[in-house]
Structure 1
Amino acid sequence: MFDSKKLEQLAKQIHDSMPQPVKELGADVDSKVRQVIQGQLGKLDVVSREEFDVQTQVLLRTRQKLTEMEQKIADIEAKLSDKNDTAE
C-alpha cells in the first residue's frame, strides 16, 4: 500500500516545483471544466440540492397537515355516528 501522506507530500512538491504559468494553466483548465459541467447540468431537467431540500420540507409539512385533517375527519365521523346511534 502507498502511504497517503507521502503521496500528498509528493504531489505538493511537484505542484510547488511547477513554473507559475503551468500552475495558472491548471487552474484555468479546472475553472473551464467546472464551467462546462455546470453549463451541461443546467441544461438537464434537474433541481438543485437546495430546491430539493425546500420541497422535501414542504412535503413533510403537507403530510403532517393531511394526517391531522384525516384525524379530525375521523373524530367528526365518530361523533356523527354516535349521535345517529343514540337518536335511533
Structure 2
Amino acid sequence: MMERLDIDQIALRLASLVPPGLADAQKDLRANFRDVLAQGLRRLELVTREEFEVQSQLLARTRARVEELERRVAELEAIAAARGS
C-alpha cells in the first residue's frame, strides 16, 4: 500500500494548487485531502509489489503442477483404455 509519506506529499501538492488568497484554507484542505486519499486507497484493497510477485510465483507453480497432473491423468487413461481393449 502507499506509504503515509506518499499520501502526505500528494495532499501537499493538491493543497498547493489552492489560490494564494485562500492560504488559511490550505492547511485544512491538506488534512482533508490526506484523509480522503487514505480512505480511498484503503477501499481499493491494494497489495504491495512484493505480495503481487509472491502470488504470481505461486500461480505459476500451481499452473505447472496442474499441467503435470493433467498429463499424468491422460497417461493413466491411455493405459486403462489399452488394458480394456
Q: State the TM-score bracket (shorter-chain normalisation).
A: 0.5 to 0.7
Larger radius of gyration: 1
Q: Structure 1: which amino acid aligns with 2:76?
A: I
Unaligned runs of 5+ in 1: 1-29
Aligned partners of 1:78, 1:67: CA distance in 2, in Å?
Answer: 17
Cα distance in 2 for residues equivalent to 1:63 and 1:32: 41
* Deviation beyond 2 Å, 4+ runs, structure 1: 34-44
The RMSD of aligned alpha carbons is 2.7
Residue of structure 1 equivalent to 2:9? 33
The residue type paired with residue 33 of structure 1 is Q
| Gaps in structure 2 of 5+ consecutive residues | 1-5, 12-33
TM-score, length-normalised on structure 2?
0.53
| Aligned residues between the structures | 56
Between the aligned residues of both structures, percent identity stands at: 36
Q: Could you tell me which residue of structure 2 aligns to residue 74 of structure 1? A: 74
The 3 A distance-change label for structure 1 pair 53 and 81 is same
Of structures 1 and 2, the one scoring higher in RCO (CA 8 A, sep 6+) is 2
Aligned-residue offset at 1:42: 4.2
